[in-house]
Amino acid sequence: MAVRDQRWGTAHLEDGGKVAYALTGTGPPLVVVPGWLSHLELGWAIPAERMFHEALSSGRTLVRYDRPGCGLSDPYDGPRTMALELAAIRAVTEAVGATHFDLFGWSLGAPVAAQWASERPETVSRLVLYGGWATGSAIGDDDSRRHVLGLLATHWGLGSDLLTEIFAPDADAGTRRALAQYQRAASSASTAVALLGLAYDLDVSPTLARISAPTLVLHRQGDRAAPAAESRTLADGIPGAALVELEGRSHLPAFGDAEAVVEQVRRFLGLPRLRRAVPTGLTPRQTEVAALVADGLTNRELATRLGITERSAESHVERIRLRLGFRSRSQVAAWYVAREPHT
């Protein structure tokens, strides 16, 4: 499976706010409605997340975006509503010229995608819902929800660490650390709280019966962030929906047995099964340079450490960036930290 670069674009909300989106692959569009938080650029630097999206891009133009206030999109301080979520989908699909597409919503994106499919059935070819829920109030009890929201509001660092342990328990320590840093870079604490509050407040159960697109509902049986019973509710409420419960505990689809998720999605979309993806690798010398980049060394400091010219150090970093398909040194650093779980 060939490494793919992201192609960047910007969509515009009616109030003038900008929503960043990225395209990978070629073919009919597959629009992804993101989970709680996202950052298109930094997420690409996490190997598991990148490989997951590349796998979905084979035979499809994968359309991903950062919702308002997250990642590369414009800041947003207004109320978090379903209407805003649907406006972001509309802006992005119009920007890329997609009038009919497959729709994949996961976590918070699952009820949003279900709502879109119920209101705009003429646009959706097939619908995939992963790790979602019909009623957000079914996620934990009142006390646990208040506790998590309070922790995020007062200790964003600790809160992101805690939720990463819940979202990706199967990831190694280095990857969990990178994921927690990624969440903090993707959003302010206030945005994180507002979006989690929206997740708890959403209730799409009254609209499920209006969904007409063929639908696949996926959920890992041991998911600790969203109860598997909620995906059963989604499947029961959507006419003709198929439910597949997968082994595993990770809430994030790119972690744990991500290949099982990819296989189910591709089969449902009528795409051929992929060969096992091989992680992008570096030569030993490039890995050494990447480690120094992760330690924060400049090109001049790299040159001094390695006994080479500054121009040679710059060339090493550039070759690493191109080999990994990254745009910046920060992505190289995040990639190294994620694959090398140092203590």
Mean pLDDT of 142-168: 92
pLDDT for residue 278: 41
pLDDT at 280 over 50: no
Using alpha carbons, select from 82, 36, 90 the residue that is nearest to residue 63. Answer: 90
Buried b (16+ CB within 10 A) or exposed e, 273-303: ebeebeebebeeebeebbebbbeebebeebb
Structure tokens at 15: 């109030």
| CA distance readout (Å), 285 to 3, 47, 313 | 21, 19, 11
> Which pLDDT score is estimated for 311?
87
Q: Let me know how long the chain is.
A: 343
- Report the distance separating Cα 115 and Cα 37, nearest Å: 19
- The residue ranking higher by pLDDT, 285 or 106, is 106
Q: Please list, in sequence order, all residues whose beta carbon lies within 8 angstroms of the beta carbon of residue 128, skipping any fewer than 6 positions away.
A: 102, 103, 104, 105, 215, 216, 217, 218, 265, 268, 269
Task: Please answer whether residues 210 and 121 qualify as being in contact, where contact means their C-beta atoms are separated by less than 8 angstroms.
Answer: yes
322/301 Cα distance (integer angstroms): 21
Model pLDDT, residue 3: 43
pLDDT level of residue 285 (50, 70, 90 thresholds): confident
CA gap 218, 52 in Å, rounded? 15
The model's confidence at residue 339, banded by pLDDT at 50, 70 and 90, is: low
DSSP state at residue 292: H
> Is a pLDDT exceeding 90 seen at residue 76?
yes
pLDDT band at 171 (very low <50, low <70, confident <90, very high): confident
* Mean pLDDT value across the chain: 90
Instruction: Give yes or no for residue 324 having a pLDDT over 90.
Output: no
pLDDT digits (tens, 9 = 90+) for 25-53: 999 999 999 999 999 998 888 878 888 99
Share of the chain above pLDDT 70, in %: 94
Beta carbons within 10 angstroms of residue 57's beta carbon: 22
- On the question of pLDDT at 105 being above 90, the answer is yes
pLDDT of 279 > 50? The answer is no
pLDDT at 157 exceeding the cut of 80:
yes
Encoded amino acid at 325, one letter: G
3-state secondary structure 106-174: ECCHHHHHHHHHHHCHHHEEEEEEECCCCEHHHCCCHHHHHHHHHHHHHCHHHHHHHHHHHHCCCCCHH
Residues facing residue 130 across a β-bridge: 106, 218
pLDDT of residue 281: 57
**For residue 25, with 0-12 CB atoms within 10 Å meaning exposed, 13-18 middle and 19 or more buried, which class applies?**
buried
Q: Using the predicted structure, report yes or no on whether residue 1 has a pLDDT greater than 50.
A: no
Q: What local confidence, expressed as pLDDT, does residue 107 receive?
A: 97
